[in-house]
Chain A
Amino acid sequence: MKKPEKEAAEPADFHEEALPHMDAVFRFALRLSGSQDQAEDLVQETFLRAFRSWDKYTPGTQCKSWLFTICRNVFLRQRERGQRHDEIVSENVDRSSGPFEVVNPVWVKAVKADPEGEFFDAIVDDVVLQHIQDLPEDYRTAVVLSDLEGFSYQEISEMTEVPVGTVKSRLFRGRRILQGVLYDYAVSMGYIKGAPDDA
């Protein structure tokens, strides 16, 4: 028997498919903006826009990534309105021009004192989130979408409209920055004994 054609999304389905992602969209909005107030606005705007264009959504597809794409677009538009062009350009400068060391220099330092990485257990969530917030925006977006929200490289590529290779580069470099600052923090707090060259 021939399968029936996929129907357009019904307004009533919005509550079932989209609303369960409100926590995730809020977290993403918070990481993007770094502000509770702005994140709340972003969530409202995202769901309002999603509701208005619900007829363009294909039921059963990746609703979460669709909502994240809307949220990011709203954030970028809001930011563009509030920021001078040269500031945006400066913010988006590709920081990936330096060499990427295959062997992680942070792990080389950490491996002697704590090869299991137990010092990470001592670091509280707020510290981690603050350092994520301090990442350059492109790196932050890649890290948040991959490590916090579990999207694949391909999904992130589609959401951020850059090639998968760029996603990987941003993600790997963003993680390296975070690993470095969290290691330094752990050393400063005495959670791990620093390497001789940390002094």
Chain B
Amino acid sequence: MNFFDRLKRLLGSSEGQTSLADGNGNASEACKPITCMEAMAKVQEYLDGELDGVSHEEVAQHFSMCKRCYPHLRLEESFKDLLRRSTEEEGCPEHVKAQVLELLSQEAGQSG
């Protein structure tokens, strides 16, 4: 089976869950192939490290070989990076920290 036939099966439906050949034409025993719909449905859990019912390797393998799905993974990653960056510089103002310490000191004084 050539690359396009394998890709077609992969893009088609969940019926295509037979053994997947790697780039050298060897069947991969370690990873069960998953369809595009399965990969798309799992992309957020995959990036969150929270996959359930499918292994990280199985999803990673799909994205590594599927030209249609891979850009969706990249966009999802860029979006997560944007959210993570958005609060990097944000911290509790110093005067609030000082107020908290003062409150705790008063509380400790009362209870002690």
Residues of A within 8 A of B71 (CB): 107, 111, 115-116
Do B96 and A146 have beta carbons less than 8 Å apart?
A: no
Residues of A within 8 A of B72 (CB): 103-104, 107, 111
Q: Is A158 interfacial (CB 8 A cutoff)?
A: no
Residues of B within 8 A of A120 (CB): 78-79, 81-82
Do B104 and A102 have beta carbons less than 8 Å apart?
A: no
- B-contact bits for A9-23, CB 8 A (1 contact / 0 none): 001001000010011
Do A26 and B92 have beta carbons less than 8 Å apart?
A: yes
Considering only residues 44-74 of chain B, those with a C-beta below 8 Å from chain A are 44-45, 48, 50, 71-72, 74
Q: Is A51 interfacial (CB 8 A cutoff)?
A: yes
Do B83 and A143 have beta carbons less than 8 Å apart?
A: yes
Do B104 and A51 have beta carbons less than 8 Å apart?
A: yes
Q: Is A137 interfacial (CB 8 A cutoff)?
A: no
- A-contact bits for B78-112, CB 8 A (1 contact / 0 none): 11111111110111110011011001100110000
Q: Is A129 interfacial (CB 8 A cutoff)?
A: yes
Q: Is A147 interfacial (CB 8 A cutoff)?
A: yes
Q: How far is the CA of A148 from the CA of B84 in the complex (A)?
A: 5
Do A52 and B78 have beta carbons less than 8 Å apart?
A: no
* Given contacts A26-B92, A43-B96, A128 and B50 within 8 Å (CB-CB): no
| Interface magnitude class on chain A | 35 or more
Q: Is B22 interfacial (CB 8 A cutoff)?
A: no
Q: How far is the CA of A118 from the CA of B81 in the complex (A)?
A: 11
* Given contacts A111-B71, A117-B75, A120-B79, A43 and B92 within 8 Å (CB-CB): yes
* Interface secondary structure of A, over-half rule: helix
* Given contacts A129-B87, A147-B80, A182-B82, A116 and B96 within 8 Å (CB-CB): no
How many cross-chain pairs have Cβ atoms below 8 Å apart between A and B?
114
Do A152 and B79 have beta carbons less than 8 Å apart?
A: no
Do A25 and B82 have beta carbons less than 8 Å apart?
A: no
Do B83 and A153 have beta carbons less than 8 Å apart?
A: no
* Given contacts A44-B100, A48-B103, A116 and B44 within 8 Å (CB-CB): no
Residues of B within 8 A of A52 (CB): 107
Do B89 and A125 have beta carbons less than 8 Å apart?
A: yes
* B77, B83, B108 interface centre (most CB from chain A within 10 Å): B83
Do B74 and A153 have beta carbons less than 8 Å apart?
A: no
Closest to A106 in B: B75
Q: Is A175 interfacial (CB 8 A cutoff)?
A: yes
Considering only residues 35-50 of chain B, those with a C-beta below 8 Å from chain A are 37, 40-41, 44-45, 48, 50
Instruction: Name the one of B76, B87, B99, B108 contacting A11, with C-beta atoms under 8 angstroms.
Output: B108
Q: How far is the CA of A130 from the CA of B74 in the complex (A)?
A: 24
Sample (24) of A-B pairs whose CB atoms are under 8 Å apart: A19-B100, A22-B92, A23-B90, A26-B96, A27-B92, A44-B103, A47-B103, A102-B40, A103-B72, A104-B40, A107-B72, A107-B76, A110-B75, A117-B74, A118-B78, A120-B79, A120-B82, A121-B82, A125-B85, A125-B86, A129-B86, A148-B87, A178-B83, A182-B82
